[in-house]
């Protein structure tokens, strides 16, 4: 039996951010429900780069924000993106910013380097094999916890500074009810 989660104010590492502490630098990603922004958080003593997932479409703001926040709040695994917090009075989720980008970015760079006959690239064979293992272990963890991601694609596989896989974007994920063997979808476009 799972223990009841503590209130957010008691969770280590999960915190409220305020808009006046954040400087939006640029858009770094976009999807059907919103956009991802690179921002700086000014924490009095230091400035930290963060990513903010901002829900744009009004009809999706509440449901997707709530789903993603809840999933990231409860899921703790080395191959699942961490939740830093939320922006007060906004449907924005605060996440770590990873300079190595997504699997899509890495594949594009790798293909460009192959065309230019530049074989020195951080996404070599060993990294690709470790990435596959990280994706598999992250998906296994999700399924062991009855979570169906529903949007695994190269854009949603991120790499931290050491090129470890982080599965991201849980906005349309679902948690299976105990005892259910499958999940079905309707009206998806």
| pLDDT tens by residue, 34-44 | 899 999 998 77
Q: Long-range contacts: 31-39, Cβ < 8 Å, 24+? A: 31/155, 31/169, 31/171, 32/57, 32/60, 33/57, 33/60, 33/64, 33/171, 33/172, 34/60, 34/64, 38/97
The whole-number average pLDDT for the span 89-102 is 91
Of 144, 146, 151, 160, the active-site residue reads 151
Percent of the chain with pLDDT over 70: 81
Q: Give the tokens for residue 136.
A: 């598999």
- Between CA 152 and CA 44 the distance in angstroms is 37
| pLDDT tens by residue, 1-16 | 344 444 444 455 678 8
- Phi and psi angles of residue 167, each rounded to the nearest 5 degrees, phi first: -75, 130
- Between CA 143 and CA 96 the distance in angstroms is 24
- Between CA 100 and CA 83 the distance in angstroms is 18
pLDDT of residue 112: 80
| pLDDT tens by residue, 113-147 | 777 776 666 788 899 999 999 999 999 999 999 99
pLDDT band, very low/low/confident/very high, at 177 (cuts 50, 70, 90): confident
Active site residue 151: yes
**Residues paired with 57 in a beta bridge:** none
Q: Give the tokens for residue 72.
A: 């990231």
């Amino acid at each position: 039996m799972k223990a009841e989660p503590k209130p957010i104010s008691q969770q280590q590492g999960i915190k409220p951010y305020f808009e006046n502490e954040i400087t939006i630098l640029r858009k770094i990603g976009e999807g059907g429900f919103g956009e991802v922004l690179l921002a700086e958080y000014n924490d009095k003593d230091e400035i930290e780069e963060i990513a903010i997932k901002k829900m744009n479409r009004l009809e999706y703001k509440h449901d997707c924000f709530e789903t993603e926040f809840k999933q990231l709040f409860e899921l703790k695994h080395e191959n699942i993106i961490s939740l830093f917090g939320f922006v007060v009075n906004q449907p924005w989720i605060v996440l770590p910013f990873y300079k190595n980008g997504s699997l899509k970015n890495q594949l594009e760079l790798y293909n460009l380097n192959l065309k230019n006959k530049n074989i020195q690239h951080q996404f070599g064979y060993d990294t690709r094999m470790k990435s596959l293992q990280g994706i598999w272990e992250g998906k296994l963890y999700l399924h062991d916890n009855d979570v169906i991601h529903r949007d695994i694609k190269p854009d949603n596989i991120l790499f931290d500074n050491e090129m470890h896989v982080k599965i991201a974007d849980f906005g349309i994920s679902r948690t299976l009810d105990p005892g259910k063997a499958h999940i079905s979808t309707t009206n998806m476009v």
